[in-house]
Structure 1
Amino acid sequence: MYFSNLAMRKYLLLLLVILAGCSTSVERDGQNLKVIDVPLRSSNHEIRMSSFVDSISYIPLETKDECLIGFVDKIVATNDYYYVVDKQKTSSVLCFDKLGKFVRKIGERGVAPGQYVEITDVNVYKDRVYLWDCSMGKLFVYSANGHLEQEVKEDYWATTFYVLDDSWVAFCSGYTTNKAYLKDNSYPNLLFVNINTGQTSPDLYYDSRICTTGIVGSDFNFISNGNLVFSLNDTVYQALSPSILKRKYAMRFGEELEKTQKEYVERLKTEKIDAYQGDKLMKEIPCMYMFLETPSYSFLRYSWRDYYYVGIINHKESDTYMEAVGYKQNAVVNDMDDMAVFIPLTTYKNAVYSCISPGRFIESKAFGKQVELDDNPIIVKFELK
């Protein structure tokens, strides 16, 4: 088992079926914002993986004592390496080359100077690895060889972050109260920080009266090209250098459901709603929780009631929109090799990446060697058409 319960719960909220959609463009705040009318079907449909995937390849990660992986919370792919983040069990960031050979461990967990206590999120920019420990309020910056280069203290509580350039970093709070940034009775969901000068630029404010325990947030922002979405906001955003917030897509789920969403937001301003109630009530609202982007396709993942969706934006055909849906199930059919499951964790260039347990390959000779049940997970690369 390589996913935490929370991650599995959210990742299995998927997937895909072809439905024609449409998109238009409007100018908003000086930006070309595309509006997409979402079909939001309530019946199961499947889509063949071969309709958008060109090839599938598997990279077994080397297994030895110094690089054992308990859970895969995040994968970061670069031109030369895979960085596997295990927050749950080993609290480590492990670097592997493109053949799966272990290269090094990034940073050390502990209470000594220069050590982190826990991993909140990890990002890679150029040849540097950035590790955010929200419990300490510290951003650790490591060189390509794993040596600590910089340690930055921040007073913003964030669940995810994205490195924009050598100086600017975007932090996302996910509806977490940051009282130090209260402005006009509102809190920012996003904070741009220049880690070299300390300059800050907050954005995406929400009403401070809102009961945030009644909001089901997303742990998957900033996993692909600085894109982010929010469960009570129908816009897909992108953070850009140096401190720019771009509004990319406005997703229209229909007037009736938009009204339901607005009514729930107003209710959160006046009522105390706990997490259990919020989870139940928000099922009646279409909730976006992940956006992944490649040159050929983008994938928007959202849920409504007990249906789990993936919207596919085809950039090769003027952003034509397709929608896939499954009732408590994965709706993508692997018609290519019957092994990999399309549950994407990240993107790099024109590929989507995931991982699977070696248990699926125990009887396989695909790698020319024996695969053991207790080996490290296998990275799956879906090269898109």
Structure 2
Amino acid sequence: MKKLFNCWKLNLGILMMALFFSQCGKPNSGGNSSQLTAEQVLKVDLNHQDELSDRNNLDSLSIIRLETSKECLIGNINKIEILENRIYILDKFKSRSLFCFKLSGEFEFKIHNLGDGPGEFTLPEDFSVIDQEISIYDNFRKMKINYDQNGNFISETKMVVSIRNILQLDDGIALVTPDESYLDSENDYNLLVTDRNIGKILERYIPNVTLGESIFSSNKVFSKWGTRILFTYGFNDTIYSFDKKDLMRQLVMDFGKNKIPYEIAETESREVRDRIFDTNYNYNGLLMDISENEDYISFRYTNFSLLKDHDPFLLYSKESKKVYNFTNIYNYEHRFKINPPMFVYKNKFVSKVTYDIKGESTPGLLPSEMDNPALAIYTIKRGY
């Protein structure tokens, strides 16, 4: 009888483990997972590289030169948003500031309240602008710090979890990618739904944070176009859509042999992790910087073996249902290069202008190396 009981316990344990692992792959710990159709799985051919330029489908390009002065020197653009004719730029690490410019490029103000007191922050991890309120999220103080539209401190609230990325929604909830380095097992998820102040967790999605969430910082994992929200996370080949508290798989990038194996993405072993940077491999992962407009979805990906002068991104055409691998965006007429899209403003993509192709660019069009960067606002014709 005892042997029979032990056998029953063993079978029950195996059954429970099977159920556990079958649930781990589902997007929502308490919801349903949609089935992928064949056209949603996109094969990415990294050997076929396209170029986007004014010679093919790059169109309606305009340049915004950001004002340069001692008060508004930008070290790097970690996040950009354009809302109500204002440009908001977050420089997370170098100046540790949130800058506000007019759409013309004229500087308005910056928020640079460094410290550990009320209204101050140590590191501005992310920001949001909603309902005439600017919020900066500081993981060190674990605070959501609120300012008015002129950058004046209003209030601050304690967050229940540190964040990596955030998207504030109009209905009083926020979508949060938590910062893995501050997580406990209870919040070890890739996506959290919280109240507006990140004071209460309402839903948890996609358990088991992977390597990509711990050693790399994913930029702009959310995109909002109309009522649709897209989301991805580190060392992951899938883009999800979020609608009315349902998370569904939308697009899956099939990198084939270039995909980072799960044994690397999920390991804590430094020896195994070092394989990512081994020159014998050509792994891809870490989808980021999602931007969507009426015709396309754009997103960057990490290729650890590419040279530094490459800044690849993928473009999914809603019309053809195909994905294209771009390594460069050029404007040959005025001789400059453009970074991959970071934001969408009035159906146009927004990117940072980088450097000349050959020789001198059009005089007065682009800033010098000592100036703030310029922004490119453009469309991509419906041809892909």
Whether TM exceeds 0.5 here: the answer is yes
The question of whether the paired residues in 1 share the 8 Å contact of 2:126 and 2:136 is answered with yes
Aligned residues: 339
Letter in 1 for 2:294: P
CA separation of 1:138/1:300 partners in 2, compared to 1, >3 Å: closer, same or farther? same
Q: Aligned equivalents of 2:167 and 2:246: distance in 1? A: 13
**1:1-385 equivalences in 2 (<5 Å):** 29=33, 35-106=40-111, 108-165=113-170, 167-173=172-178, 175-176=180-181, 178-179=183-184, 181-182=186-187, 187-195=188-196, 198-207=199-208, 212=211, 217-222=216-221, 224-225=223-224, 226-240=229-243, 243-254=245-256, 261-265=261-265, 268=267, 271-273=269-271, 276-280=274-278, 284-290=282-288, 291-304=290-303, 306-307=305-306, 309-315=312-318, 317=319, 319-324=320-325, 330-356=327-353, 364-366=362-364, 373-385=369-381
Q: How far off its partner does 1:265 sit?
A: 4.8
Letter in 1 for 2:314: G
Any gaps of 5 or more consecutive residues in structure 2?
A: 1-31
Which whole-Å deviations, capped at 9, do the CAs of 1:165-217 have from their partners, x for residues lacking one?
A: 252111113654611625xxxx2111111035933134333347x6x389664
The question of whether the paired residues in 1 share the 8 Å contact of 2:125 and 2:137 is answered with yes
CA separation of 1:100/1:197 partners in 2, compared to 1, >3 Å: closer, same or farther? closer
Any gaps of 5 or more consecutive residues in structure 1?
A: 1-27
Q: Give the secondary-structure state (helix, strand or coil) at the position aligned to 2:192.
A: strand
Letter in 1 for 2:65: P
Q: How far off its partner does 1:342 sit?
A: 3.7
Answer 1 or 2: higher relative contact order, Cα 8 Å, separation at least 6: 1
Counting aligned pairs with the same residue, the percent is 22
The question of whether the paired residues in 1 share the 8 Å contact of 2:235 and 2:285 is answered with yes
Which whole-Å deviations, capped at 9, do the CAs of 1:319-354 have from their partners, x for residues lacking one?
A: 5213225xxxx4344345322424322222311112
Superposed CA RMSD in Å reads: 3.5
CA separation of 1:177/1:49 partners in 2, compared to 1, >3 Å: closer, same or farther? farther
Q: How far off its partner does 1:305 sit?
A: 5.7
**TM-score when scaled to structure 1?**
0.74
Q: How far off its partner does 1:283 sit?
A: 5.1
**TM-score when scaled to structure 2?**
0.74
CA separation of 1:162/1:371 partners in 2, compared to 1, >3 Å: closer, same or farther? closer
Q: Which has the larger radius of gyration?
A: 2
Q: How far off its partner does 1:303 sit?
A: 4.0
CA separation of 1:38/1:377 partners in 2, compared to 1, >3 Å: closer, same or farther? same
